[in-house]
């Protein structure tokens, strides 16, 4: 296929491409800006095919991603929230010699840093952009922040991004007013996929640097966006910020939710505010969503992440043939990563009879809707039985006294592991360990009931950059929590 | 990719799939009906991988196309308007042994005919549909009705249909209310592509057997469709049928026009009736539209067929580097046919440096909009100069007295060929040959002005099944027309 930016600037030069604060660029203007930037980049970049980028969600970072694509470079999108030593690993693994760094950010890195200001102040020259974006060509690399293990450099091809955008459009549709709000990071697949869709669809991206419920609601209520990608905590905060009875305009059509399930209360609040919710499931390895719920089914199928998008096939790997049987979630998809950088064995090992094993556990109901019951590495194996923290947490979260609960496995002489829970109560509320245990026995199999309850005093639980809880990190510091009386 | 019908019936079982008269089927119901039909077909079909089909736009024909796909057969979609000897050629070329024939139609064929009634009355059995629709697999074959030469069997793969649908959705968008009216024949790519889009998009097809301006306007005014594919003559008839000031509902969003340019009067009428017009360009070999005009540009770029769809690349092959230079229209597209049946040499000969030569002549304006100036075989070579009938006809059509005009080449001792015109006047109107010649000299280069004018008395000009004028047929009977005094 032709270079997507060239093609889009040719097809709809005057359509809005990106809005950032008070700035708005059409596709033609964006192309001009991006090519000017590419002309500066060639004067400071060395010959390394791969270039690192550390940026927040701002216009210069946005243009840099596109500019590096125009030069045919592979962009290693580094997570700007990582610590120096985490970055050092990824920089070394990707064999980077240069990293382009947002001036707002400060790092100690062992390689050359090119600041945004340096690049801006460089004399540019005219460059010829690449003619084609080949489907098989790797354009971006992202390290999975992973809930366990060593980060893996996920290779994303133009074909991955193309089919991802096609799968999404066949589920969500496309209007001539489309404007997709991106406050999820552009160094993450959730944000980058919005940028790629914009080129393919010819629609606007409303780029926002920092999540503020008030600011975002202002944009949405003002009709400045039609779709917004969110993680569940964002949705909760947005709903909490709305005044009673305040409704989003009809123009705003969808919250696309990724990174975990939303609960019924948030869903009902969101629907009362006039928004439709598309729950979805995906990962860096699948170039964004591969499974999504039809908004019409949001209430009927609460807890489900939906059905595989049109180009995606899904199976549950289990020997149990009954409906709702839990097994490994496995996929075939043209959006599936071409490999892990330097870890071919690990990549090949993630396939099972040609199916990519997501590492997640789930089941399909009788109508084929997918439910995720546990994430990679979260499963607790207790006396031969499998316990999924998500399930146990959902039961406890239903208690009016409970604000947050995290369930994890603790080593145990007799059972191998046992589930334990860290509970945070709502203000002025409390329950005893005994009461919590009794409640659990009413709703859960015996082996699923946490053996020990710890009291949380307002710790902020460790999460990945994309908002996923890192239970294994919590497990390391479990001893620092007080036992609940 | 998974079998599209299976996937669609799984994704949106309860969404409307097809409406035919008072009948409406959901995707689940359509799948059940199609598999039942497939179960009957296997009991009457022989082992030939290819099956011919002769049908009008009715539900049984619609289901048969899908049923044959479910069985993994290649469907040779024969044009039901062809004469027996034309069909005989295609049946022999495709090496068919059986043709499924609509009971409404009568043919003398040298192969076994399976009537719809025969199939309906056959005892069915349970069949397993094919699991995958492979992108490289040929699923349909259509003979180009061609304006010249021997018909060519165009091989269409699932990949061709998939990319065609993706190119279209990126141009036209997709709403959750979509219903595409198909009165263009389903044995033709214009109609078949509507069926394939329906499976991929999960949207309804409003199938109509016969074009009647009154009936179609009734459907459109009643809000039963959102998009309709038309040829220019349909659009003209629909506008003529509307009462003064009558407007289509907002729900109806687009006429997708193929098969030739529409003139300004029709465009203005259509816009006054609240419809937007998407002029497009495509052919059997490209699995439907590959170039389309943005509705926003309809007036500004009248006469243009637009810009190549996102997955399509286009060039004008000419040595003249100036803007508006006329040359051969050449394409690269993932929708391009995999080949001509039994005519590999002819297929390979249609490529020029890797570009598919459409046989059409055209130019790009300074903003990259494509204008078609002449169709394959139409060009008149007169004394070393090229004359395109379309251009000359457009000039004469602008005269208020002229109802229709056809320009073609006539053999000439001195110039090789000269342009001549057949003119049909509006009721009670007339002009002399001399007046017409004088008018032409004001607007056209000398060599483009028709040397002789013939008077048409209401002949219906020979057209292909898709409405393209067959000038070479007219040239054969030119002597039967009277000279215009």
**Three-class SS state of B370:** strand
Determine contact, residues A34/A66, Cβ cutoff 8 Å: yes
Take residue B449 and report the two structure tokens written for it: 């002005």
pLDDT at A416 over 70: yes
Q: From CA A112, how far away is CA A116, in angstroms rounded?
A: 13
Helix axes A264-272, A232-241, angle to 10 degrees: 50
Q: From CA B74, how far away is CA B399, in angstroms rounded?
A: 49
- Tell me the chain B residues in contact with residue A292 when contact means C-beta distances shorter than 8 Å: none
**Binning pLDDT at 50, 70 and 90, where does residue A149 land?**
low
Cβ partners under 8 Å of residue B178, min gap 6 = B201, B203, B204, B226, B227
Number of H helices, E strands in chain B: 14, 27
A13-61 residue pLDDT tens = 999 999 999 999 999 999 999 999 999 999 999 999 999 999 999 999 9
Longest distance between any two alpha carbons in chain A, whole Å: 72
**Residue whose C-alpha is closest to residue A360's, from A403, A315, A321:** A315
pLDDT on residue A148: 54
Distances from the Cα of B304 to the Cα of A49, B50, B254, B268, B394, angstroms: 42, 39, 17, 15, 13
Residue A437 burial class via C-beta count within 10 angstroms: exposed 0-12, middle 13-18, buried 19 and up:
middle
pLDDT on residue B149: 60
pLDDT on residue B466: 57
Helix axes A232-241, A213-221, angle to 10 degrees: 70
pLDDT on residue B464: 65
Q: CA of B246, closest CA in chain A: separation in Å?
A: 25
**Binning pLDDT at 50, 70 and 90, where does residue A213 land?**
very high
pLDDT at B266 over 90: no
pLDDT on residue B350: 93
Whether A175 sits inside 8 A of B176 (CB atoms) is no
Q: From CA B8, how far away is CA B198, in angstroms rounded?
A: 9
Alpha helices in B42-83 (DSSP H): 59-70
The H or E element spanning position A115 is: strand A112-115
Q: CA of B236, closest CA in chain A: separation in Å?
A: 27
The string of DSSP letters for B125-165 reads ---PPPSB--TTSEEEEEE---SSSS--EEEEEHHHHHHHH
pLDDT on residue A180: 98
**Three-class SS state of B219:** helix
A417-440 residue pLDDT tens = 899 999 999 988 999 999 999 999
Q: From CA A3, how far away is CA A134, in angstroms rounded?
A: 8
Q: CA of A442, closest CA in chain B: separation in Å?
A: 36
The answer to whether residue A201 neighbours chain B at the CB level (below 8 Å) is yes
Q: CA of A172, closest CA in chain B: separation in Å?
A: 8
Q: From CA A422, how far away is CA A474, in angstroms rounded?
A: 10
- The region of weakest confidence among A275-284, B19-28, B463-472 is B463-472
pLDDT on residue A270: 84
Whether B175 sits inside 8 A of A175 (CB atoms) is yes
pLDDT on residue A384: 74
Determine contact, residues A180/A304, Cβ cutoff 8 Å: no
Residue A476 burial class via C-beta count within 10 angstroms: exposed 0-12, middle 13-18, buried 19 and up:
exposed
Determine contact, residues B429/B401, Cβ cutoff 8 Å: yes
Q: From CA A127, how far away is CA A108, in angstroms rounded?
A: 32
pLDDT at B178 over 90: yes
The DSSP secondary-structure symbol of A122 reads: S
Across A42-97, the runs of DSSP E, i.e. the strands, are 50-54, 74-78
Determine contact, residues B258/B281, Cβ cutoff 8 Å: yes
Q: From CA A219, how far away is CA A206, in angstroms rounded?
A: 9
B52-87 residue pLDDT tens = 999 999 999 999 999 999 999 999 999 988 888 889
pLDDT on residue B147: 52
**Residue whose C-alpha is closest to residue A263's, from A93, A418, A395, A401:** A395
**Binning pLDDT at 50, 70 and 90, where does residue A146 land?**
low
The answer to whether residue B444 neighbours chain A at the CB level (below 8 Å) is no
Alpha helices in B148-210 (DSSP H): 158-172, 189-201
Nearest to A310 among B7, B175, B334 (CB): B7
pLDDT at B468 over 80: no
Q: Most A CBs within 10 Å: which of B166, B296, B306, B333, as the mutation test of the A interface?
A: B166
The answer to whether residue B311 neighbours chain A at the CB level (below 8 Å) is yes
- Cβ under 8 Å to B: A residues 270-299: 294
Region A160-374: CATH code: 3.40.50.12780
Determine contact, residues B151/B24, Cβ cutoff 8 Å: no
Nearest to A174 among B2, B173, B200 (CB): B173
pLDDT on residue B467: 66
**Three-class SS state of B13:** coil
Determine contact, residues A383/A416, Cβ cutoff 8 Å: yes
Looking at this predicted complex, what is its ipTM?
A: 0.86
CATH 3.40.50.1000 fits B380-483, yes or no: no
The string of DSSP letters for B420-450 reads EEEEEEPTT----HHHHHHHHHHHS-GGGS-
Start-to-end CA span in chain A (Å):
64
**Three-class SS state of A85:** helix
The percent of residues in chain A predicted with pLDDT above 70, rounded, is: 98
pLDDT at B212 over 90: yes
Q: How many A×B Cβ pairs under 8 Å?
A: 46
Whether A170 sits inside 8 A of B202 (CB atoms) is yes
Q: From CA B341, how far away is CA A76, in angstroms rounded?
A: 47
Whether A313 sits inside 8 A of B2 (CB atoms) is yes
Nearest to A174 among B1, B11, B169 (CB): B169
**Residue whose C-alpha is closest to residue A194's, from A256, A101, A286:** A256
pLDDT on residue B124: 96
Q: From CA A198, how far away is CA A342, in angstroms rounded?
A: 31
Determine contact, residues B112/B52, Cβ cutoff 8 Å: no
- The region of weakest confidence among A24-28, A202-206, B288-292, B423-427 is B423-427
The H or E element spanning position A314 is: strand A313-317
B217-264 residue pLDDT tens = 999 999 999 999 998 889 989 999 998 889 999 999 999 998 777 777
Q: From CA B345, how far away is CA A457, in angstroms rounded?
A: 78
Whether A170 sits inside 8 A of B173 (CB atoms) is no
Spacing of C-alpha A10 from chain mean position: 31
**Binning pLDDT at 50, 70 and 90, where does residue A467 land?**
low
| Cα radius of gyration rounded to whole Å, chain A | 23
The answer to whether residue B253 neighbours chain A at the CB level (below 8 Å) is no
Across B284-369, the runs of DSSP E, i.e. the strands, are 288-292, 307-308, 313-317, 327-332, 339-340, 351-352, 355-364
Section B341-351 average pLDDT: 94
**Binning pLDDT at 50, 70 and 90, where does residue A466 land?**
low
Q: Locate the chain B residue with the closest alpha carbon to A177.
A: B173
Q: From CA B202, how far away is CA B196, in angstroms rounded?
A: 10
Whether B294 sits inside 8 A of A12 (CB atoms) is yes
The percent of residues in chain A predicted with pLDDT above 90, rounded, is: 70
CA atoms within 13 A on the CB side of B135: 10
**Residue whose C-alpha is closest to residue A422's, from A475, A361, A360, A344:** A475
pLDDT on residue B377: 72
3-state secondary structure A129-159: CCCECCCCCEEEEEECCCCCCCCCEEEEEHH
Whether B1 sits inside 8 A of A311 (CB atoms) is yes
Cβ partners under 8 Å of residue A199, min gap 6 = A4, A5, A8
**Residue whose C-alpha is closest to residue A169's, from A289, A255, A66:** A289
Nearest to A10 among B11, B307, B311 (CB): B307
The answer to whether residue A313 neighbours chain B at the CB level (below 8 Å) is yes
Domain-wise residue ranges, chain B: 4-133, 160-374, 380-483
Q: CA of B179, closest CA in chain A: separation in Å?
A: 13
Q: Locate the chain B residue with the closest alpha carbon to A134.
A: B311
Topology, domain A4-133: Rossmann fold (3.40.50)
- The region of weakest confidence among A457-466, B4-13, B120-129, B224-233 is A457-466
**Three-class SS state of B290:** strand
Whether A173 sits inside 8 A of B175 (CB atoms) is yes
**Binning pLDDT at 50, 70 and 90, where does residue A390 land?**
confident
Q: From CA B48, how far away is CA B199, in angstroms rounded?
A: 26
Residue B215 burial class via C-beta count within 10 angstroms: exposed 0-12, middle 13-18, buried 19 and up:
middle
**Residue whose C-alpha is closest to residue B191's, from B470, B467, B469:** B467
- Tell me the chain A residues in contact with residue B294 when contact means C-beta distances shorter than 8 Å: 11-12
The H or E element spanning position B405 is: strand B402-412
CA atoms within 13 A on the CB side of B261: 23
The percent of residues in chain B predicted with pLDDT above 90, rounded, is: 70
Q: From CA B147, how far away is CA B465, in angstroms rounded?
A: 11
**Residue whose C-alpha is closest to residue A197's, from A165, A173, A243, A234:** A165
Q: Locate the chain B residue with the closest alpha carbon to A166.
A: B166
Determine contact, residues A466/A190, Cβ cutoff 8 Å: yes
**Binning pLDDT at 50, 70 and 90, where does residue A376 land?**
low
Section A163-176 average pLDDT: 95
Cβ partners under 8 Å of residue A395, min gap 6 = A440, A443, A444
**Residue whose C-alpha is closest to residue B153's, from B281, B355, B348, B339:** B339
Q: From CA B391, how far away is CA B386, in angstroms rounded?
A: 11
Take residue B345 and report the two structure tokens written for it: 């040499």
Whether A202 sits inside 8 A of B175 (CB atoms) is no
Q: Most B CBs within 10 Å: which of A15, A131, A166, as the mutation test of the B interface?
A: A166
Mean pLDDT for chain A overall = 92
The answer to whether residue B307 neighbours chain A at the CB level (below 8 Å) is yes
Section A395-418 average pLDDT: 90
pLDDT on residue A446: 84
Q: From CA B242, how far away is CA B273, in angstroms rounded?
A: 8
pLDDT at B324 over 60: yes
- Tell me the chain A residues in contact with residue B169 when contact means C-beta distances shorter than 8 Å: 169-170, 174
Cβ partners under 8 Å of residue A28, min gap 6 = A9, A13, A14
**Three-class SS state of A172:** helix
Take residue A430 and report the two structure tokens written for it: 């409390």
């Amino acid at each position: 296929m032709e270079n997507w930016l060239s093609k889009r600037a040719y097809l709809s030069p005057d359509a809005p491409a990106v809005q950032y604060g008070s700035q708005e660029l059409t596709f033609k203007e964006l192309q001009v800006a991006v090519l000017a930037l590419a002309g500066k980049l060639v004067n400071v970049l060395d010959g390394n095919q791969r270039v690192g980028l550390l940026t927040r969600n701002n216009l210069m970072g946005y243009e840099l991603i596109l500019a590096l694509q125009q030069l045919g470079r592979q962009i290693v999108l580094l997570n700007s929230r990582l610590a120096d030593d985490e970055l050092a690993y990824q920089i070394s693994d990707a064999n980077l010699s240069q990293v382009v760094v947002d001036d707002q950010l400060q790092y100690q890195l062992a390689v050359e840093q090119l600041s945004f200001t340096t690049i801006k102040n460089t004399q540019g020259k005219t460059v010829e952009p690449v003619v084609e974006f080949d489907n098989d060509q790797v354009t971006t690399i992202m390290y999975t922040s992973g809930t366990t293990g060593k980060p893996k450099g996920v290779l994303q091809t133009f074909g991955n991004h193309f089919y991802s955008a096609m799968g999404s459009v066949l589920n969500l549709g496309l209007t001539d007013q489309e404007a997709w709000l991106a406050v999820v990071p552009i160094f993450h697949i959730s944000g980058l996929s919005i940028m790629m869709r914009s080129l393919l669809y010819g629609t606007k991206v409303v780029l926002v640097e920092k999540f503020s419920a008030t600011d975002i609601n202002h944009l949405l209520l003002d009709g400045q966006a039609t779709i917004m990608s969110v993680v569940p905590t964002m949705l909760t905060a947005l709903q909490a910020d709305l005044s009673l009875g305040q409704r989003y305009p009809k123009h705003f059509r969808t919250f696309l939710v990724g990174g975990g399930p939303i609960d019924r209360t948030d869903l009902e609040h969101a629907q009362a505010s006039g928004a439709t919710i598309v729950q979805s499931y995906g990962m860096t390895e699948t170039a964004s969503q591969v499974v999504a719920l039809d908004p019409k089914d949001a209430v009927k199928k609460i807890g489900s992440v939906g059905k595989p998008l049109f180009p995606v096939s899904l199976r549950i790997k289990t020997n149990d043939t009954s409906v709702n049987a839990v097994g490994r979630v496995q996929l075939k998809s043209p959006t599936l990563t071409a490999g892990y950088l330097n870890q071919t064995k690990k990549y090949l090992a993630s396939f099972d009879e040609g199916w990519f094993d997501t590492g997640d556990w789930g089941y399909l109901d009788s109508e084929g809707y997918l439910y995720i019951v546990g994430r990679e590495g979260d499963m607790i194996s207790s006396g031969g039985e499998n316990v999924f923290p998500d399930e146990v947490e959902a039961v406890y979260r239903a208690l009016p006294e409970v604000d947050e609960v995290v369930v994890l496995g603790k080593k145990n002489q007799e059972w191998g592991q046992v589930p334990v829970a860290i509970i945070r109560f709502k203000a002025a509320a409390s329950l005893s360990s005994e009461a919590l245990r009794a409640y659990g026995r009413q709703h859960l199999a015996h082996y699923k009931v946490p053996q020990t309850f710890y009291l949380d005093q307002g710790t902020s639980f460790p999460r990945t950059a994309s908002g996923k809880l890192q239970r294994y990190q919590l497990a390391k510091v479990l001893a620092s929590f007080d036992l609940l009386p």
